């Protein structure tokens, strides 16, 4: 009941104002853990309702903080990352000089625009401009502000960046190389591109020869063999989003359709890599 009361209070129109004024008074990690467990429980209930089997392994980022910190420390030791003002960033210049290619999935020159950085990193990109050696460097460990979740680290109290936990958890469970990695089309960049960069910078993957920017030959790594990206879900022809208020939950969809029908819809309609248009009729 306490968690439900907290969720309801956080949904209030006054929540942003209260967070700005009182957010730094929240220091108990259990508040954040209870919030996450509530939605984890609902997600697993939704998967069971759809007839989706439970995963062989269920992992949580908060249970991997020592491994995440050790992974980042290894990147710093290899001079692929650097600390700045309590945060740690991956150095894309060092990454390229070692013979690696950045943005393998999304292509292009490997440069990231300010708009792409803001879209991809969100709050993690805020205030990082003066801390970075290269504007395209992305955060591995972010110094926490008062009221934000924080764990002790060699660089001061902070929290993991958006991408780092995936590399750490996946390599712990699956080993040095992954055959197939999946996700939505919107995760191709920056999330999956940055996962590849930090993993291969840390030495994960199958070794292959590559040429560095200085013309020398280096050993590069391929962390993932194949990526598959699913298309966006559209509702009545428009991309589903909260801002458009055309958001349909799994529970709402199951009120009008059987779980088998929904599974067939996602499996067969348009192909897994294409956008799916959901129409009730």
Q: What is the pLDDT of residues 1-53, one digit of tens each?
A: 566 776 777 677 777 887 788 878 888 888 889 989 999 999 999 999 999 99
Q: What is the pLDDT of residues 125-182, one digit of tens each?
A: 655 568 999 999 999 999 998 888 999 999 999 999 999 999 999 999 999 999 999 9
pLDDT at 205 over 70: yes
The residue assigned the tokens 């879900």 is 233
pLDDT at 97 over 80: yes
Cβ count near 137 (within 10 Å): 23
Cβ count near 18 (within 10 Å): 12
Token pair belonging to 74: 């290894």
| Between residues 94 and 109, the one the model is more confident about | 94
Least confident of 50-64, 118-132, 255-269: 118-132
Give the pLDDT band of residue 210 (cuts 50, 70, 90): low
Per DSSP bridges, beta strands 217-222 and 224-230 are unpaired
Cβ count near 24 (within 10 Å): 12
Tell me the pTM. Answer: 0.86
Q: If phi over 0 gives left and psi between -120 and 50 gives alpha, with beta otherwise, what is residue 270?
A: left
Tell me how far apart the alpha carbons of residues 161 and 68 are, in angstroms, rounded to a whole number: 10
Q: Is the dihedral of CA 63, 184, 227, 87 positive or negative?
A: negative
């Amino acid at each position: 009941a306490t968690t439900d009361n907290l969720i309801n209070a956080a949904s209030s129109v006054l929540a942003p104002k209260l967070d700005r004024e009182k957010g730094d008074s929240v220091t108990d990690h259990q508040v954040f853990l209870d919030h996450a467990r509530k939605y984890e429980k609902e997600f697993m209930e939704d998967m069971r309702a759809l007839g989706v089997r439970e995963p062989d392994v269920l992992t949580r980022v908060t249970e991997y903080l020592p491994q995440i910190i050790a992974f980042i420390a290894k990147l710093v030791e290899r001079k692929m990352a650097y600390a700045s003002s309590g945060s740690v960033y991956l150095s894309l210049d060092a990454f390229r000089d070692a013979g690696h290619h950045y943005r393998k999935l999304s292509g292009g020159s490997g440069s990231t625009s300010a708009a792409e950085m803001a879209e991809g990193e969100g709050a993690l990109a805020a205030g990082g401009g003066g801390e970075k050696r290269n504007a395209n460097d992305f955060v591995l460990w972010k110094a926490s502000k008062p009221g934000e979740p924080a764990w002790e680290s060699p660089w001061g109290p902070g929290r993991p960046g958006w991408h780092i936990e995936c590399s750490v958890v996946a390599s712990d469970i699956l080993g040095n190389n992954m055959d197939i990695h999946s996700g939505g089309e919107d995760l191709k960049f920056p999330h999956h591109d940055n996962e590849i960069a930090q993993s291969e910078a840390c030495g994960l993957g199958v070794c292959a020869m590559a040429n560095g920017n200085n013309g020398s030959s280096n050993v590069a790594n391929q962390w993932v063999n194949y990526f598959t990206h699913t298309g966006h879900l559209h509702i009545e022809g428009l991309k589903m989003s909260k801002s458009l208020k055309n958001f349909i939950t799994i529970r709402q969809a199951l009120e009008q359709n059987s779980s088998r029908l929904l599974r067939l819809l996602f499996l067969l309609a348009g192909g897994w890599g294409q956008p799916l248009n959901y129409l009730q009729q």
